[in-house]
Amino acid sequence: MLKLAIPNKGALSEDAVRLLGEAGYKCSRSGRELVVSDRVNDIDFVFLRPRDIALYVGDGVLDLGITGRDLKEDSGADVIELFPLGFGRSRFCFAVPKESGLTVEKLGGLRIATSYPELLRRNLEKRNLKCPIVRLDGAVEISIRLGVADAIADVVESGATLTEAGLVVTGEPMLCSEAVLIGRSPELQECHEVKKLIARLRGIIVAGSYAMMEYDIPRSALEAACSITPGIESPTVAPLSNPDWVAVKSMVLRKECNRIMDELYEIGARGIIVTDIRSCRL
């Protein structure tokens, strides 16, 4: 039986449970359970603090885990990323007071507060900067105003928390993070149950970036329409009762939907419908 760790709280928790649920696994909790067993799929889901997940997986106590790439890197645990999960995206950045004019190169000797000390230490070492690191559990943005640090290194998503604290990002992100499925060794990917899990997760994630587009088009414009919506293999074309028209069905990238609809309408397509895809295997 596989044992898979899921964040029990924090920014990744809800989405991890939702993704696994959509992939057909039973892992939602009715209360404060620490372990939920999915007997059908033969997996135990263990609820842990996201920061601890890489450590348990690295020690071999658990087979797999879902955590943030930044947390995994900071833990220094001996684990690898098996599959990126496309949610919980963030950037790990340096930030300084807005009017300070500080840049990363000028940080040498200054106190830097962070919840990711190992990630920060490695980055400073690469840059040959020596800085005292102030380790905090959270609310890192306020540490400068409270006088315990001169700069911070923290997770930025929308940037709203930084703005609120009168801070700005300086330099390029040290790391771009998202939720990832982790394991101890690449051989795990050969395990039938792990392959099935990854295929199901990929199905949900890929489906999220595509939509299904259907439309009717005069036969004379079919070739042009198929080049606008080539689909994955090629679009499905079905006859209509009016022999001069056909119906076309094709997967399209969700972010391209509106442009594609404009172009199809322009060449004569009508009755264009776009629907969500819940899952897929391509």
Residues that bind ligand PRP (CB under 6 A): 11, 138-141, 154-161
159 binds, among ligand PRP, ligand ATP, Mg ion, none (CB under 5 to 8 A by kind): ligand PRP
Distance CA 188, CA 44 (A): 16
Q: How many residues are there in the chain?
A: 282
Q: Nearer to ligand ATP by C-beta: 182 or 251?
A: 182
Distance CA 188, CA 110 (A): 43
Spatial contact of 272 and 252, defined as CB atoms under 8 Å apart = no
Does position 155 interact with ligand ATP (CB under 6 A)? The reply is: yes
Q: Nearer to ligand PRP by C-beta: 150 or 154?
A: 154
b/e sequence 156-181, b meaning 16+ C-beta within 10 Å: beeeebbeebebbebeeebbebbbbb
CB of 239 to Mg ion, least distance (A): 57
Does position 77 interact with ligand ATP (CB under 6 A)? The reply is: no
| Six-digit token string for 258 | 């509106």
Among 99, 128, 118, 134, which Cα is nearest to 51's? 118
Does position 164 interact with ligand ATP (CB under 6 A)? The reply is: no
Chain centre to alpha carbon of residue 48: 19
Does position 138 interact with Mg ion (CB under 5 A)? The reply is: yes
Q: Nearer to ligand PRP by C-beta: 140 or 217?
A: 140
68 binds, among Mg ion, ligand PRP, ligand ATP, none (CB under 5 to 8 A by kind): ligand ATP
Q: Which residues of the shown chain bind Mg ion in the complex (CB under 5 A)? A: 138
Binding site for ligand ATP (CB under 6 A): 7, 10-12, 50, 68, 70-71, 88, 90, 138, 155, 157, 177
